């Protein structure tokens, strides 16, 4: 209000043509304005800093991206129970995938990829994020690669654990759990899907030795025992390490001493945690 009064006085003096008084008043206004600017500048800086700390600009500030867990061949979402607990403990949104429109355990990678499209859209809606991370065990990594072959932009990272990216010789002349088994054969179409430039690819491979490594009793135990001897070494009993790491554009997060069916322990989770937390 004081500024308006001063301006009013100036206008009045203009009428009276008191030039000396006008000059004094103008000088007073300039000095007062400079003082007010110096006083308000620190407040402006504080406001800018506060805005910068409260306005998120990337996913790391809004929390880790949601994680989709895709099981493998002749398996289901129950294999992820340990990982579900670990992810929840780290406050990472987790979504174990069950394929409901196609055969969950024995469906083809192509059919699973189609269903993934809708499932990922639902996860993005629920989480409010525009991207997700995917962890695939064994054939689950091939399902995800098929989805990424459509040049999608909503998967930040794909982590493939024991995934036969170049197939497994054990699938040759095998008809068990078709058509999924066909996707595991060397040279299958899903093993040849090209890289999606919008996604980073990572692998974990098993370097197992039956005498010293970890391999609990499971459906695959007898096969893994025989597979260790017949497959190129190193291997995890079902998939050669060289097959897992056959993609030139993928980065290895490390190797595990466990057999194929035991690659989902707390140890493997520790290898991928930084990626899922957005720290890598």
pLDDT over threshold 80, residue 101: yes
- Percent share of the chain, pLDDT over 70: 78
Mean pLDDT of 208-231: 87
Residue 102 token pair: 């196609």
Higher pLDDT, 114 or 52: 114
Query: What's the whole-model pTM score?
Result: 0.79
113 vs 51, more confident: 113
Calculate the average pLDDT of the chain.
85
pLDDT for 33: 52
Q: Identify the band that residue 21 occupies on the pLDDT scale cut at 50, 70 and 90.
A: low
Mean pLDDT of 195-222: 90
What confidence score (pLDDT) does residue 7 get? 46
Question: Looking at residue 62, what is its pLDDT?
Answer: 76
pLDDT over threshold 70, residue 28: no
Residue 266 has pLDDT above 80, yes or no: yes
What does the pLDDT look like over 34-80, one tens digit per residue?
554 444 444 444 333 433 333 333 344 578 999 999 999 999 999 99
CA distance 101 to 120: 15
Segment 194-211 shows an average pLDDT of: 97
Position 16 scores a pLDDT of 47
Residue 156, pLDDT above cutoff 90: yes
User: Residues with Cβ < 8 Å from 233, sequence gap 6 or more?
Assistant: 240
On the question of pLDDT at 186 being above 90, the answer is yes
What is the pLDDT at residue 93?
97
Cα–Cα distance, 160 to 83 (Å, whole number): 14
Q: How confident is the model over 132-152, as a mean pLDDT?
A: 97
- The burial of 29, by beta-carbon neighbours within 10 Å (0-12 exposed, 13-18 middle, 19 or more buried), is given as middle
Q: What residue spans define the domains of the chain?
A: 2-54, 65-276
**Is omega for the bond preceding 234 within 30 degrees of 0, making it cis?**
yes
Q: What pLDDT score does 23 carry?
A: 52
CATH of domain 65-276: 3.40.50.1820
* Cα–Cα distance, 261 to 216 (Å, whole number): 8
Distance between CA atoms of 135 and 115, rounded to whole angstroms? 16
Task: Tell me how far apart the alpha carbons of residues 250 and 166 are, in angstroms, rounded to a whole number.
Answer: 13
Of 119, 95, 99, 77, nearest in space to 179 by CA: 99
Task: Output the CA torsion 26→29→31→33 (10° steps).
Answer: -140
């Amino acid at each position: 209000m004081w500024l308006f009064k001063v301006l009013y006085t100036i206008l009045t003096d203009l009428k009276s043509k008191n030039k000396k008084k006008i000059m004094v008043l103008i000088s007073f206004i300039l000095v007062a304005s400079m003082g007010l600017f110096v006083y308000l500048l620190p407040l402006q800086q504080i406001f800018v800093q506060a805005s910068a700390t409260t306005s998120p600009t990337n996913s790391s500030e809004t929390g880790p991206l949601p994680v989709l867990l895709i099981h493998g061949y002749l398996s289901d979402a129950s294999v992820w129970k340990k990982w579900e607990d670990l992810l929840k403990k780290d406050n990472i949104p987790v979504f174990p995938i069950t394929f409901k429109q196609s055969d969950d355990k024995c469906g083809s990678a192509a059919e699973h990829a189609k269903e993934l499209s809708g499932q990922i859209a639902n996860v993005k809606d629920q989480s409010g994020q525009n991207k997700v991370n995917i962890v695939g065990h064994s054939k689950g990594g091939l399902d995800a690669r098929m989805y990424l072959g459509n040049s999608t932009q909503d998967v930040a990272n794909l982590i493939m654990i024991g995934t036969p990216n170049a197939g497994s010789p054990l699938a040759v002349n095998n008809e068990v759990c078709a058509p999924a088994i066909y996707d595991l054969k060397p040279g299958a179409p899903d093993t040849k899907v090209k890289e999606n430039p919008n996604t980073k690819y990572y692998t974990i491979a098993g370097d197992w030795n039956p005498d010293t490594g970890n391999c609990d009793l499971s459906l695959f135990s007898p096969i893994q025992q025989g597979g260790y001897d017949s497959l190129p070494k190193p291997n995890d009993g079902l998939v050669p390490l060289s097959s897992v790491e056959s993609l030139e554009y993928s980065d290895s997060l490390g190797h595990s001493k466990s057999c194929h069916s035991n690659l989902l322990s707390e140890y493997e989770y520790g290898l991928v945690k930084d990626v899922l937390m957005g720290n890598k």
